[in-house]
Structure 1
Amino acid sequence: MSLNILAVDDSRTMRDMIRLALVPVGFTVHLADDGLHGLEVLDGLEPDVIITDINMPRMDGFGFIDAVRDQDDHRATPILVLTTESSAELKMRARNAGATGWIVKPFDPAKLVKALQMVAG
Structure 2
Amino acid sequence: MDPPQQRNILIIDDNLEDRVAIRRYLLKDWRIRFTIHEASNGRQGLSQCQSLQLDCVLLDYNLPDMTGTAFLDHLRIKPDQPFLPVVVLTGVAAKRSRCSR
C-alpha displacement of 1:24: 4.1
TM-score of the superposition, structure 2-length normalised?
A: 0.73
Q: Which has the higher contact order (CA 8 A, sep 6+)?
A: 2
Gaps of 5+ in 1: 87-104, 107-121
CA distance, structure 2, for counterparts of residue 75 and residue 64 of structure 1: 17
Q: Indicate the structure with greater helix content.
A: 1
Q: Which has the larger radius of gyration?
A: 2
Q: Indicate the structure with greater strand content.
A: 2
Identity of aligned residues (%): 34
Structure 2 residue corresponding to 1:7, chosen from 3, 6, 11: 11
Aligned residues: 86
Indicate the residue corresponding to 1:28 in structure 2.
Answer: 35
Gaps of 5+ in 2: 96-101
CA distance, structure 2, for counterparts of residue 55 and residue 42 of structure 1: 18
What is the root-mean-square deviation of aligned Cα atoms in Å? 2.1
Aligned runs of 1:82-121 on 2, under 5 Å?
Answer: 82-85=89-92
Is the contact between residue 77 and residue 84 of structure 2 (CA under 8 Å) also seen in structure 1? Answer: no
Q: Hey, which bits of structure 1, 4+ residues long, moved more than 6 A? A: none
TM-score of the superposition, structure 1-length normalised?
A: 0.62
Structure 2 residue corresponding to 1:81, chosen from 88, 96, 100: 88
